[in-house]
Chain A
């Protein structure tokens, strides 16, 4: 026990709290971007991951991600190796290099918050139209089949006594905080799921402008704040290298925002608030894998390229006709690829990872490793998510019916309305609504439209 470094442990536990805040932040970021009739559902798709993924993580997810590799293949950890994390409660359960040891349980807590937000990220691709029950099942199965194994590939390093993942230990691609595990993985999953679930009614026809950009700005701010835990916390120690990572996280967000706004100003004539929020996230996405491998100047390049490229990539869905509603592909997949592959170009020996990229005279050795890791995660995630999504779509159904989608998934999936701005819908009263509304449900739990009409139709008011 005396081997634990208190400063490092405090930083990792604090970082875990920062990263956890990113999921409610993402809920705001996504929630503001959808229409008013589905903001609660959008936020709940993130919040439910806080519940389901946490439980899965404690029971089998940590084992799948960081347990000893099954057969030493580096593909998936032993899911029954750490059930309930009870083996991590002992004072002997420590990890890290001498002098920087932290409780393994602190690491398990930190990584739990990554798994949660990874699942929540995917939901942006299927806004406004998904059945909440099916999404809830999806969160558990997707984490189990896709996220936990990929986390094992990339984040679990082999030691003399532990067989880790193939990308971390054999390929030796650099992905410091999850450019492949989270960004490329979630982007590819979002694309697959958007294709399975299909386009929103009125896609490319009806205006679907964001209903509350102030929520989007607040969410983007919380994401940036939490991202310092995400990236700098991934050092698992409070060192000089941690400071470099922290600074790169600040710089890339700034560069991403400026680049996106620059593209907008030139292309569309105005710098928009949604562009600022999107650009800073694009920059942060790209610096996630690369924050340990580049200098702040490299972070400007990577964040800037991501901000500019993503500002164009978000238009692809209209050109090619897939309804990735909130641009999980355009921001996270594209930004993740920029950051992951960008390491091969912009890496510098001066950064903690200690590798020179192509532009620093390091040749293509690191570049090809980055490309292989990116393509492997992209393909694995796209294929498995597509298969899982199709299986759920054919059995449980992934999509609400047409009327419910028109009326809004807040009502059909949660029987709630986000905003009661004029307070005119109160005929039933709070107490009576709570008592009587469940009676209006059919035995299958479906709410007949007459009950919903009572909620949505205001009483006829008089003039003056």
Chain B
């Protein structure tokens, strides 16, 4: 089992979610995040005073998946989240030792 974490642009969430649903992904966790990579934020001007905004709003998607589905899911996110402009985000995958479904107490693949 793997944990897929994707940091994407907020307005790309909807197409990514639709693509994942169509692929058959059963669930995901989404949270608001902020951060920067190579694009280094932007500047805003308030009453003539310029502020450098380093942390840009992003959305973090987390998906638990079986190992054999992982590559397809990652590719799907990468394709649907891509705008081709700087700041499109990152995706990474880490191994997961165990998963528990809270309602039933099931462990492992049965809990996915």
Contacts and interface: CB of A to CB of B under 8 A. Distances in A.
B51 interface: yes
Contacts of A312: 48
Contact of A311 (B27, B48, B62): B48
Interface residues on B, range: 10 to 19
B51 A209 contact: yes
Given A208-B51, A314-B48, 11 more contacts: A268-B45, A268-B48, A269-B45, A274-B47, A278-B47, A311-B48, A312-B48, A314-B47, A315-B48, A330-B47, A464-B27
A270 interface: yes
Given A464-B29, A464-B62, A315 B46 contact: no
5 contacts: A210-B46, A268-B48, A274-B46, A278-B47, A315-B48
B49 A318 contact: yes
Contacts of B53: 207, 209
B68 interface: no
Interface of B: 3, 27, 29, 44-49, 51-53, 62, 64
Determine which residue in A267, A315, A330, A464 has the highest number of CB atoms from chain B within 10 A of its CB, and name it: A464
Interface in A213-269: 264, 267-269
B73 to A, nearest CB: 15
Nearest to B27: A464
Interface residues on A, range: 20 to 34
Nearest to B53: A207
Contacts of B64: 464
Interface in A310-335: 311-312, 314-315, 318, 327, 330
Nearest to B45: A268
A207 B46 CA distance: 10
Interface of A: 207-210, 264, 267-270, 272, 274-275, 278, 311-312, 314-315, 318, 327, 330, 463-464
Contact of A207 (B27, B29, B48, B51): B51
Contacts, number: 41
B63 to A, nearest CB: 9
Contacts of B62: 463-464
A322 to B, nearest CB: 14
B29 A315 contact: no
A331 to B, nearest CB: 9
Nearest to A269: B45
Contacts of B47: 274-275, 278, 311, 314-315, 327, 330
Determine which residue in B44, B45, B48, B52 has the highest number of CB atoms from chain A within 10 A of its CB, and name it: B48
Contacts of B49: 314-315, 318
Determine which residue in B3, B29, B45, B47 has the highest number of CB atoms from chain A within 10 A of its CB, and name it: B47
Given A463-B62, A464-B62, A209 B48 contact: no
A464 B1 CA distance: 14
A271 to B, nearest CB: 11
What are the nearest 6 A-B pairs in CB distance? A207-B51, A314-B47, A464-B29, A268-B45, A315-B48, A209-B51
A312 B52 CA distance: 20
Nearest to A275: B47
Nearest to A278: B47
A396 B4 CA distance: 56
Given A315-B49, A463-B62, A464-B64, A209 B29 contact: no
Contacts of B51: 207-209
Nearest to B64: A464
A463 B48 contact: no
Given A207-B51, A207-B52, A207-B53, A463 B29 contact: yes
A345 to B, nearest CB: 26
A135 to B, nearest CB: 24
A463 B29 CA distance: 7
A207 B27 CA distance: 38
Contacts of A318: 49
Contacts of B29: 463-464
B52 A272 contact: no
Nearest to B49: A318
A275 B48 CA distance: 9
A236 B53 CA distance: 49
A270 B48 contact: no
Nearest to A422: B32
Nearest to B5: A463
A315 B51 CA distance: 13
